[in-house]
Structure 1
Amino acid sequence: MSFCRQFVLRLRRMRVWWSPLLMVAAAASLPLAAQDFPSRPITLIVPFPPGGVADNVARPVAQALGKQLGQSVVIENKQGAGGGIGMAYVAKAKPDGYTLLLALSSISVIPEADRVLGRAPMFQLDQLLPVARFTADPVVLAVRADSPWKSFAEFVAYAKANPKKLNYGSSGNYGTMHVPMEMLTASAGISMTHVPFTGAAPAVTALLGGTLDAVASGPSTVVQHVKAGKLRVLANWGGERHPALPEVPTLRELGAAVEYAQWSGLFAPAGTPEPVLAALRKAARDAQDDPAFRQAFVTLQTPLAYLDAPAFRQYWDADARKMAEVVQRIGKVE
């Protein structure tokens, strides 16, 4: 018998002999990740200030995940750089499932925006893993109720007659309030002055206070002010009318070929063990059947649009490609 054949047979015998030991060793190497997760509280990073869309979504998500996982999920608001600081923090966190991210669709934009600005990206998209999408709301165009614009046509006509005179607020450059407005101004042939803030809540506060003329925001941050008679919504960026604002037409109805959804999703650092991801996915799926969780989104007037990780991955990849093209069109913004 040749030496090579003897060696192969020896290897086969060794595999038979050692495979149970290897299986035991492999099982022993994952006790915390697979068997005991979670064994302590989880931190959910929200990369925007309290009171905005991400924070509004994160509250019921944290409560539901905590209930399903049997551990508290603590929200930490880590704002700045249009959400980039908090997103980068999670992208570089230990991949053990104990530091998670509740992000908006601006996550698709920030690395490309950094490249357009000629600087190293704060994080790369492949540093984060999608776990679940919860919402996908169109943004809406909101102005003060005492403003002179009763319709979208009046707003556009004024903007065309007064270039750069109108200003609008956002949650930061290239964020989920900036990008849709830039898409709109390009489509409508108008120019406005952009005023970035650290999040949606401060921008809406500035609108209410008279500092701004308009915002493009998720419905959940403005609908209560609409009901209170303080704000008026002129249009939405969705493919259909929003159930919380059924009287508000879509931009496509109004002749502007623009759509944009401000979605929210749960992310974990790349490298998180598969058993941990499976536990997080199951908790997110099971939350959909929790009446308290569903009622929280009814109260927010934000419809659930749940996607599990595989479908969310496909959605996110397509969204990231589309948003990269928009950022390239916007170009360098200081």
Structure 2
Amino acid sequence: MRLPRKHLQTSLLLAAQLAAFLAAVPVMGQTTAAPYPTHAVELVVPSSAGGGTDTVARAFSEAMRKYLSQPLTVVNKPGASGAIGMTEVGRARPDGYKLGIIIAEAVIFPHLGPTTFDAAQLVPIARLNADPSAITVKADSRWNTIEAFLAFARAHPGEVQVGNSGPGSIWHLAATALEDRAHVRFNHVPFTGAAPALVALMGGHIDAVAVSPAEVSAYVAAGKVKTLAVMADQRVSGFENVPTLRERGIALSIATWRGLAAPKGTPPEVLEILAAASRKAVADPVFVATLRRQNLGIAYADAATFKAMIEADNAVMKALVARTNLKN
């Protein structure tokens, strides 16, 4: 039976409307993907608790609570001068739920010899901090000046024990660079981070540490240690009475930096959310107050600037490693 033309048009119109309605109704059990993040995000810190990197990470995590809908949970993964923690992040699923603090050692490892760490597996999101190295000794040490310290080291090659945050770490490299510039030779003693190195120093097990002023500031204030010189172009805030090596005729400035990174392949929209939150967190009073209280330098840089800085540092560290014979 053939429908009249008018009825046929009406039926086709109703069918089209019904199809449109059904397309707009969600299928039972189907849900729209929730915006990132939907649960806690793990933040891997490649050093021991208590050091500068850990302090920066925890202050950042606390500040991010205001700008990210889920918390950043700090997990310390020290070892191999940061390679263990950074490698874990680089190999993680690129979904934004495992991030890491990337440190200056990322541009040192590739030049030391064979390594399982691959910096190309990490995507820089934001630089958070930067600090110079410094030479610090016990408060009752025989040395009160950097000149006396270096003179003793020069007269007793290999006897002065200088602690660092691990073989091939930025602080190991800093002490080795000082050897090269000052024509001395130290006995380098590695630890899993600046914090355990400081414990060893205060216990009298080593003679000095080559870590940042920030990492020793609390112990300087408590009268347990004293800093002899900083490896910076200018004197450091909170350490205005401590000379730079350049003031003492040694042309050496070397610093560490710390930033946020994600595994390669992390979706751009996730990186954008993290970048926006990071920019706000670094300017947050919680982050600023914590870093200033610890004499840690605030040095925010966006992803593009941070990436360019990493590439520039990579070239510098390659030349420095070659000159100081650190490569195995």
What are the within-5 Å matches in structure 2 for residues 307-318 of structure 1?
Answer: 307-318=301-312
The amino acid across from 2:298 in the alignment is: L
The alpha-carbon deviation at position 307 of structure 1 amounts to 0.5
What are the within-5 Å matches in structure 2 for residues 1-150 of structure 1?
Answer: 36-113=35-112, 115=113, 119=114, 121-150=115-144
SS at match of 1:38: coil
Q: Which residue of 1 aligns with 2:176?
A: 182
Deviates more, 1:248-257 or 1:320-329: 320-329
The alpha-carbon deviation at position 333 of structure 1 amounts to 6.5
Please list every run of 5 or more consecutive structure 2 residues that lacks an aligned counterpart in the other structure.
1-31
Q: Which residue of 1 aligns with 2:295?
A: 301
Is 1:277 aligned to 2:276, yes or no? no
The amino acid across from 1:167 in the alignment is: Q
Q: Which residue of 2 aligns with 1:20?
A: none
Structure 1 pair 332–255 and aligned structure 2 pair: CA distance change class (3 A) = closer
The amino acid across from 1:145 in the alignment is: A
The alpha-carbon deviation at position 111 of structure 1 amounts to 2.5
Is 1:207 aligned to 2:201, yes or no? yes
Cα deviations by residue, 1:264-313 (Å, 9 ceiling, x for unpaired): 11111111111111011100111133212211111112131111111111
The amino acid across from 2:70 in the alignment is: Q
The amino acid across from 2:325 in the alignment is: G
Q: Which residue of 2 aligns with 1:243?
A: 237
Q: Which residue of 1 aligns with 2:252?
A: 258
- TM-score, normalisation: structure 1: 0.86
Structure 1 pair 224–72 and aligned structure 2 pair: CA distance change class (3 A) = same
Structure 1 runs, 4 residues or longer, greater than 4 Å off: none
SS at match of 1:89: helix
Is 1:151 aligned to 2:145, yes or no? yes
Question: Max radius of gyration: which structure?
Answer: 2
CA RMSD for the aligned pairs? 1.4
* Aligned residues of 2:165 and 2:190 also touching (Cα < 8 A): yes
Is 1:331 aligned to 2:318, yes or no? no
* Aligned residues of 1:111 and 1:122 also touching (Cα < 8 A): no
- What is the percent sequence identity of the aligned residues? 40
Separation in 2 of the partners of 1:63 and 1:94? 24
Separation in 1 of the partners of 2:283 and 2:50? 25
* Aligned residues of 2:128 and 2:282 also touching (Cα < 8 A): no
* Aligned residues of 1:54 and 1:103 also touching (Cα < 8 A): no
Cα deviations by residue, 1:13-42 (Å, 9 ceiling, x for unpaired): xxxxxxxxxxxxxxxxxx75xx61111100
Cα deviations by residue, 1:192-214 (Å, 9 ceiling, x for unpaired): 10111111111110001000101
The amino acid across from 2:176 in the alignment is: E
SS at match of 1:68: coil
Q: Which residue of 2 aligns with 1:292?
A: 286
Separation in 1 of the partners of 2:237 and 2:284? 21
Separation in 2 of the partners of 1:206 and 1:226? 15
- TM-score, normalisation: structure 2: 0.87
Separation in 2 of the partners of 1:91 and 1:324? 22
